[in-house]
Structure formats: C-alpha cells, structure tokens
Amino acid sequence: METITGTLDEALLRLHASGPEFRGFLSNHGPMAVEAMVRNGRARTVHRWLDAYTAKLEDVPSARTRITPANWRAALGDPSRVTDWTAYFTDQITERPWRELLAVWWPRLLPGIAGAATHPVIRVGHAVRTLLTDGEDAARLAEFAHALGYWAARHLPLPAAVHPAGSATPAEALAALPRIADQGVTPVDGYAQLPGTPAWLSTVESLHVPTDPEAVRAALTGLVRAATLNYADYGHGNGIMLVHAATAPNAVLRTLPALPRDLWASSFAVAWAATSAITAIYAAETPRPAPDPAASVAPEEVFERAVAHGNEHAIKFADTALDVAAISEDGDTRALSAALNALTLIDEDE
C-alpha cells in the first residue's frame, strides 16, 4: 500500500506544477484520473499515462491579488483568480483540519457546482476519497487545496433556482427529463437554455429529497446508478460530456462521509440539479441501448480496458461504473456495459 500511495503522491506533485485548465477552458483531469487508477489497482501505469497527458498541460497562471476572509466573495467565480484561490486554501489547510475547512466551504461552493462542467466538484470528490482512504500527507492536502481553489474560481450557479419537493425517485425523474432545443453547445450556453426548456424545472423539482441522512445517502447512490445506466442508452448524444451526469453526483456521494450530516440533503438536491442539467443538454433524445459485452468481463478488466483506451473521461466513468457494479444485484452487468460502451462513444467524439 505504501508503494501505491507513494505513486499517487508523486503523481499529484507532478500535476501541481501545471494549471487546472489548458487551451483556455479544458479541465486538467490528471489528478482525478490518476487517483482512479491507483484506487483500481493500476498504479503501475500512472506515470506512463502522465508522461503523455502532461505534455498538453499549461503552466500555473500568474497570481493576482491575495484572497482573505474579508474579500473572498468578490473573487468567487472569477477564473482569473484561480492561483489566488489555490494559495488561499493552501494557507487555510495549515490553520485548520481539512474536514473543518470542508464543512465551512462546502455550503459556500455547492451552489456553484455547474462551473467548468462540474469538473471542480469531481476533483474535490477524488481528493476527499484519498484523504478518507489513505489519510493525510502533504501531497494529498495540497491536492485538496488545489481542488477547492479550482471550484471557487469556476463557481457558477445554474440560471434557475431548483427546489426538489416531489415524490419521484432519481430513476423516474431522470427518465422524464426533457432536452434543450439546441444540443451540442458549450455547458454555459446549454445552461442558459434550461429555464426556457418546457417542463425542465417541473421535472427537476419532482424529485423526492429525504430528510433522514441515511435515506439521503441511499437516494444519492440511486442517482449515481440511474445516471450511469442512463449513459448506456443515451450516451451517444455526447459520449464525453454525458459522463459527468454520473461522475458529478458520485463525487458528492464520496464526500458525504466527510461532511456534517445536516448538509447531506442539500448536497443530494444540488447534485441532482447538476445531473439534470447535463442530461438535458447532452443526452440523446432517443435511446440506442448499449450492447452487453460485459456479461463475461470482470470489473477489473473493464477498468483495465479504460486505462488502455487512455482517455481521462473513459477512466473516470469506468471508476464510477465499478462503484455502481459493486452494489448491483448479482448478474446485473449494465453498469459495466455502460463503461465499455463509453470507450466506443468517446472515440466517436474525439
């Protein structure tokens, strides 16, 4: 285990020499992908994968002005301040335990989950899983600070307030979601279409949000499962972008154990809002069910194929699909089939 976590620490330190985005808006998926590789037994491939991936990354942006507890609100959602935000959280993590810092900032950042196509919250979810599983050290705490800083800089609320108060299950609400008029657009342009999309808001608000924390955990688990299986049928709308409908709520699910339980219900509601937005923007209008080649494929082989494929989205989605498969009924290989189908769909989109 020491060798494995050492590989992750080395990889994170390599990645911290680069900025969180490149080519103007593309997210640096390196920290998320390498954490998933280490977690799923592929630590030996991490540095080879990074050798190719880091070649396209860019330098850390220049710092601008120091962020303080008195002026942070003015910098929230300003991507030009990302290095300032990273410095702020790097300082904060030396002054208080990371769980305490998370409890303070999670409710501040949560309304902006839509920023950068939900990549910041996904990065936070991977960072938290590492801290919960492997414990603290300098590299992991630094990654936690980088992840929070990226989220603060890309904080972006959806253009419509969402208050789920219905009786629908995640699978029922997801199946009823309409699609925006003009698909194939950027996330920001897609978000702007949501308020004018007939029945989108009413469908989103039809979801039942429990009050009991354990029921919330079960419901959020159900949302991750529903979004993963939905990809199998509708991922051909956009093979890359639709993966976030599953990986974003899974990041929230992974973070729940580190959060105060009174934040769980709101976390589920916001995770659902993000999934519903991405689904409305990127899911195909008509289903094209994935073939089921996973019936005789072990989960570890599914992940190995994703790593061999090399695309960071394929790796992250396979990581989530394995979570779903691990708690599925015996013989239910649909999540694994979705992950294998993603390899073909992502090839089509690249």
Alpha-carbon distance of 159 to 301, in angstroms, equals 41
Pairing of strands 21-22, 26-27: antiparallel
> According to the model, what pLDDT value does residue 298 have?
92
> According to the model, what pLDDT value does residue 338 have?
95
| Burial state string for 87-107 with b = 16 or more CB within 10 A and e = fewer than 16 | bbbbebbeeeebeebbbebbb
> According to the model, what pLDDT value does residue 76 have?
98
Name the helix (H) or strand (E) containing 22. Answer: strand 21-22
> According to the model, what pLDDT value does residue 296 have?
78
pTM > 0.95: yes or no: yes
> According to the model, what pLDDT value does residue 2 have?
46
59 DSSP β-pair partners: 18
Q: State the Cα torsion 78-84-86-89 to the nearest 10°.
A: -100
The mean predicted confidence, pLDDT, of the chain is: 95
Q: How far is CA 164 from CA 82, 92, 134, 169, 271, in A?
A: 32, 34, 35, 11, 11
> According to the model, what pLDDT value does residue 289 have?
86
Neighbours of 179 (CB within 10 A): 18
| Tens-digit pLDDT profile for residues 55-75 | 999 999 999 999 999 999 999
Task: Name which of 19, 243, 248, 231 is nearest 120 in CA terms.
Answer: 248
Alpha-carbon distance of 244 to 313, in angstroms, equals 9
- C-beta separation of 143 from 127 below 8 A: yes
Q: How far is CA 217 from CA 221, 283, 313, in A?
A: 6, 25, 25
Q: Which residues of the chain have pLDDT under 70?
A: 1-4, 294, 349-350
> According to the model, what pLDDT value does residue 24 have?
86
> According to the model, what pLDDT value does residue 1 have?
47
